[in-house]
Chain A
Amino acid sequence: MDNHKQTADGGIIVAKLDDLLNWARLSSMWPVSFGIACCAIEMMGAMAATYDLDRYGVFPRASPRQADVIIIAGTVTFKMADRIKLLYEQMPEPKYVISMGSCSNCGGPYWQHGYHVVKGVDKIIPVDVYVQGCPPRPEALIGAFLELQKKISLEKNNINKTLKKNATTS
């Protein structure tokens, strides 16, 4: 449907509830403000004035309760893995994971001799988008968010089931 038909000359947009929900979700992906290693510096750069991730609605939140995305920006040590898992568990649905940089993708430079590094964060939590680089440039992180937007826009929410469940429980 083209825009002219959608607005129906009256300033009203007709959309499926599924598309509307997906649109709302992809326009406000709030990441947990959480960085582990040097990739976090690039993440901060991407969020700061020069690259300004805020124009995509990406705005860091200080609590996983308000967050939709967790960016694993850095080396995932075994000590940190438990915390990452708990933080991921504490995020409300729907939740997405961006694995940023070689370390969290596969262990990176620590893949052989790093006795302390988890060889990829996907061993503990499911990852949606991998960003390559050591560290990736801010453009790459922005690219990851764009990819995630594509992924969310195609999601099937099964909204009838959710509505029925919420109506019965509340």
Chain B
Amino acid sequence: MHIKGNLSKFERMEEGSQITEFGKVFIYLVVGTLLVLLTLLLGKLLSPKKPTAAKQSTYECGEVSQGSSWIQFNSRFYVIALVFLLFDVEMVFIFPWTTVFGSSELIAADGRWGWYTLVEMFIFIGILIVGLVYVWKKGDLEWIKPSPKIPALQTTIPQKIYEASNKKNYQVRPFGAIPTQTAEPSKVQENTAPKPAFKPKFITKGS
């Protein structure tokens, strides 16, 4: 068989090339890196640089940054986030399951399909619930509450006055039922003074 004779020009060239497939990936990487470096170099050469104190300062949406960013975060968020992620992923599995579970075609093919998928999903959720129970038992779901020292005020006013004030019920007046006081017509004075109208004035400089 003369397969070689039927090869196109391109294929024959490929056969003789010295670069392996990984070599092509290497060239790709080198050219990619060089292009990025060239762009950075061009930017470095061509861009005008006028650094000022304000320009070098940290960008915080126009605010002047305050304090250090090296502060402590409470680690309880970490565990809660992990547990949340676990059950979030569970939802991702349940949603496609519902479409297969309710598929009328598959149920028509075999009546036991519905029961089979339902039991399977309960096994899946059961395993995850074991995980939840484990986390609960370990006490990872307990929120570490701060115990602040509430300062006690030194006053001579007894505490029960405050309590009485807190328990006091205020009567709410019914809305809209305010009796209107009608003045005698003789006493009503006609307001003849002209209303102060808005008149924009052009302020000249120096005035």
Evaluate contact between A89 and B55: CB separation under 8 angstroms: yes
Q: Which of B46, B59, B61 contacts A162 (CB 8 A)?
A: B46
Classify the interface of chain B: helix, strand, loop or mixed: loop
Classify the interface of chain A: helix, strand, loop or mixed: helix
Q: B190 contacts the other chain (Cβ, under 8 Å)?
A: no
Evaluate contact between A112 and B203: CB separation under 8 angstroms: yes
Evaluate contact between B46 and A90: CB separation under 8 angstroms: no
Q: B49 contacts the other chain (Cβ, under 8 Å)?
A: yes
Q: How many residues of A contact B (CB 8 A)?
A: 25
Evaluate contact between A65 and B59: CB separation under 8 angstroms: yes
- In angstroms, Cα B51 to Cα A85, docked, is 16
Contacts of B201 in A (CB 8 A): 112
Q: Which of the four size classes fits the interface of chain B?
A: 10 to 19
Q: A11 contacts the other chain (Cβ, under 8 Å)?
A: no
Residue of B nearest to A94 (CB): B48
Q: A166 contacts the other chain (Cβ, under 8 Å)?
A: yes
Contacts of B200 in A (CB 8 A): 112
Q: B161 contacts the other chain (Cβ, under 8 Å)?
A: no
Q: Which of A83, A92, A112, A166 contacts B62 (CB 8 A)?
A: A83
16 sample A-B contacts, Cβ–Cβ < 8 Å, listed by A number:
A21-B46, A65-B59, A83-B62, A84-B62, A90-B54, A90-B55, A90-B59, A91-B55, A92-B47, A157-B48, A162-B48, A163-B46, A166-B44, A166-B45, A167-B45, A169-B49
Known: A83-B61, A86-B62, A162-B46. 19 other contacts (CB 8 A): A21-B46, A65-B59, A86-B54, A86-B63, A86-B64, A89-B55, A90-B57, A92-B47, A93-B50, A94-B48, A112-B203, A157-B48, A159-B46, A163-B45, A166-B44, A166-B46, A166-B47, A167-B45, A169-B49
A interface residues (Cβ-Cβ under 8 A, vs B): 21, 63-65, 82-84, 86-87, 89-94, 112, 157, 159, 162-163, 165-167, 169-170
